[in-house]
Amino acid sequence: MHDLRSATPVAPEDYYPFIAEGKILPHCAELSGFSPEAVKLKNGCEIPCDLVVLSLGSQTPIFPFLPDKYRKMLETEPDGVQLYRHLLHPRIPGIAFAGFNHGFMHVAGVEVAAQWLCAYLRGELELPSTENMEKSIEYIRQWKRANIAFEPSRSCGSNARFQQYIDILLKDMGVSPYRKLPNIFAEIFGRYEASDYRGVSEEYNHKQKSRSTPLHPLPLDT
């Protein structure tokens, strides 16, 4: 059985009931242009609107703002670049990729990743050797290719594994992943939400004050 795709669509709450009630009218057609007051479709329809949101799909990421030698490292694979912890390329200094770790709790995942990156950039978190990071990257790349159907951005997502991924980032930083304690029943049976990660920065900063040596990422691939 294949894992969920990185670009798995999730319908907004009440989307289908609103269609059934006529509150939303979907159109299946290509965009041909705009007028001052409407969107024009190739089937001849014009849809009056005040606001247009362009959701352009999921393509292989490109990096035209980087030098060619780095672009070759990032753009060679057809399913996108696989990063260490979905955040860093071991051979490209001075750049990090917050947002390459999308899953089903994307905003919380990016915020925890940003805290992880801050710890690294401040020298509070020491990375493994380049060789060990590349071994981890290759393991995850091959696992995804064996277990996730191809798509151009397959390398970018933690998908349904987002809980494990966030837990590992928190443990890397010495922060408890058990965000619902001391309510043991909520921890075991409750659904995690973005609000459960409130206070991660404060907890990390408080613990960091008593540390005299850098943290090190766990020897786990994710």
> Could you tell me if residue 63 is inside a domain?
no
pTM (whole model) above 0.85:
no
Cα 177 versus chain centre, distance: 18
Q: Do 25 and 78 fall within a single domain?
A: no
β pairing state of 38-41 and 102-103? unpaired
Q: Confidence class of residue 164 from pLDDT cuts 50, 70 and 90?
A: very high
> Could you tell me if residue 175 is inside a domain?
yes
Q: Do 35 and 74 fall within a single domain?
A: no
Q: Do 128 and 40 fall within a single domain?
A: no
Q: Do 178 and 91 fall within a single domain?
A: yes
Q: Do 50 and 81 fall within a single domain?
A: no
Give dist(CA 154, CA 166) in Å, integer: 18
Q: Do 44 and 117 fall within a single domain?
A: no
Site of tokens 């990257």 = 137
Whether the per-residue pLDDT at 6 is higher than 70: the answer is: no
β pairing state of 38-41 and 31-35? antiparallel
Give dist(CA 23, CA 12) in Å, integer: 14
Name the packing angle between helices 106-121 and 162-172 (round to 10°): 20
Give dist(CA 169, CA 24) in Å, integer: 40
DSSP annotation of 130 reads: H
Q: Do 1 and 85 fall within a single domain?
A: no
Q: What is the mean pLDDT of the chain?
A: 89
| Sequence-ordered list of residues with C-beta below 8 angstroms from that of 100, at least 6 positions apart, any chain | 61, 83, 86, 87, 156
Q: Do 31 and 122 fall within a single domain?
A: no
Which residue would you say has higher pLDDT here, 9 or 182? Answer: 182
Q: Do 5 and 40 fall within a single domain?
A: yes
Structural domain including 21 reads 1-57
Q: Do 52 and 129 fall within a single domain?
A: no
Q: What is the pLDDT of residue 143?
A: 93
Please classify residue 28 by burial: count the beta carbons closer than 10 Å to its beta carbon, then call 0-12 exposed, 13-18 middle and 19+ buried: exposed
Please give the full DSSP string across 171-191, using - where no structure is assigned.
HHTT--S-TTTT-HHHHHHSP
Q: Do 198 and 149 fall within a single domain?
A: yes
Q: Do 181 and 104 fall within a single domain?
A: yes
- pLDDT tens digits for 20-68? 999 999 998 888 888 889 999 999 999 999 888 776 566 788 888 889 9
Domain tally for the chain?
2
Joined tokens for residue 222: 């994710």
Give dist(CA 135, CA 129) in Å, integer: 10
The average pLDDT across 164-174 equals 96
